[in-house]
Amino acid sequence: FRHRFGLEGRFVVTHAGALGLANDIPPILRAAERLKDHPDVVFLFAGDGKERQRLEEQVRERALKNVAFIGGVAKSGIPEVLAASDVCIATLKNIPMFRMTYPNKVFDYMAAGRPVILAIDGVIREVVERADAGVYVAPGDDIGIAEAVRLLKSNPAVRQKMGSQGRAHVERYFNRSD
């Protein structure tokens, strides 16, 4: 997967899922802009949606070389995407209703043993923090996202620990086969 998409030797920050207004992707792009002097970091978007074309235009306008859109991926292909990721990110707009949502992508990230950068407040934040499986950033905070990427990139042991803890947590508390 890394070879196919030119990701070898890079620190891959993945957003897997819809690219709609509610998903609040612009702060991720602003974080990518803040990290553009780190050519070894790439923000990978595996998904599609109504905002994809506008987001790709923003990337071109800003001349961001550290952002890649690979389009929609079948659910069966998500494990391959996440296996190629170093860190995964989930964002939603800061709307009170979203404080009660459990985005599937966060459980996918944790099940894959990947640390989560989470810019969603509410019940899903409680899950990630209880598991000590990632870094919470306030919704819309591109500076916080960039800092979380730097922190996790520079601490492989922390990444591994958070990923393992997230995996163990979803196996224990969110296993659908039980």
pLDDT tens, residue by residue, 124-158: 999 999 999 999 999 999 999 999 999 999 999 99
CA angle 101, 93, 135 (to 5 degrees): 75
Residue 39: its H or E element: none
Q: What percent of the chain has pLDDT over 90?
A: 98
Q: What is the DSSP letter of 34?
A: H
178 pLDDT above the threshold of 60: no
Of 84, 89, 78, 29, the C-alpha closest to 57 is: 29
Token couple for 91: 């964002």
Looking at the DSSP bridge assignments, the partners of residue 93 are none
Whole-number Å distance between alpha carbons of 3 and 65: 17
Tell me what pLDDT residue 160 has.
Answer: 98
Q: What is the DSSP letter of 119?
A: E
| Amino acid making up residue 4 | R
Give the C-alpha separation, 10 to 1, whole Å.
Answer: 13
CB atoms within 10 A of CB 56: 14
